């Protein structure tokens, strides 16, 4: 279970590296001429929405389950990222990105809770390490690819790739773990 989760979480982290905040800022500056002050305000509210989503994720996971919360909040967030890359209007793009911010991090507390719930207590430290280290390594590779795409004139592609890979990750997670319930959901 832990190795499968680590592999899937690595796909998610690799995908996320295509849309790190610095590249998002560069994309917004390049595509729409967003000012530094507006970018600062946007990233502030984006961070607030992400933070507020954590307790909402806990509430939602008690109602629909940990895996469902991860998947059913992540897919709409990825669709919003793809739409943000494709719309020609700054305000529409920012709106999609704010909706994404409100949804995209709900998998963080639920992912941790799920991993800890499906392993025995003595396995928890190792499970945390085995699922975290590959995520970090995978996330390190994709910003370079995203930067190369951006430099080659394919500015929207990193966002589309990120969204598409994350949707594939979510579908794979749902398919592989829909029947493996933590004790509190059994």
CATH of the domain at 77: 1.20.1250.20
Report d(CA 157, CA 138) in Å as an integer: 19
Q: In 63-83, which positions are buried (b, 16+ CB within 10 angstroms) versus exposed (e)?
A: eebbbbbbbbbbbebbbbbbb
Q: In this model, does residue 186 exceed pLDDT 90?
A: no
pTM comes to: 0.94
Return the CA Rg of the chain.
17
Q: Contact, 127 vs 119, CB < 8 A? A: yes
**Domains in the chain, number:** 1
Q: What is the mean pLDDT of residues 88-98?
A: 97
Q: What is the mean pLDDT of residues 149-171?
A: 97
Q: What is the mean pLDDT of residues 20-44?
A: 96
- Structure confidence at residue 44 (pLDDT): 98
- Domain hosting residue 161, numbered range: 2-185
- % of residues, the chain, pLDDT over 90: 98
Q: What is the mean pLDDT of residues 142-155?
A: 96
């Amino acid at each position: 279970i832990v190795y499968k989760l680590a592999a899937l979480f690595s796909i998610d982290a690799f995908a996320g590296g295509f849309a790190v905040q610095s590249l998002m800022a560069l994309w917004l500056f390049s595509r729409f001429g967003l000012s530094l002050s507006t970018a600062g305000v946007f990233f502030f509210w984006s961070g607030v929405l992400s933070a507020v989503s954590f307790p909402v994720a806990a509430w939602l996971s008690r109602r629909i389950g940990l895996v469902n919360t991860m998947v059913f909040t992540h897919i709409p967030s990825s669709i919003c990222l793809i739409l943000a890359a494709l719309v020609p209007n700054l305000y529409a793009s920012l709106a999609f990105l704010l909706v994404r911010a409100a949804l995209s991090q709900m998998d963080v507390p639920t992912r941790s809770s799920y991993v800890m719930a499906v392993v025995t207590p003595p396995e928890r430290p190792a499970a945390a390490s085995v699922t975290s280290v590959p995520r970090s390594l995978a996330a390190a590779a994709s910003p370079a690819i995203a930067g190369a795409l951006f430099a080659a004139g394919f500015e929207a592609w990193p966002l589309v790739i990120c969204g598409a890979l994350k949707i594939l990750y979510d579908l794979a997670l749902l398919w592989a773990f829909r029947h493996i319930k933590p004790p509190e959901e059994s």
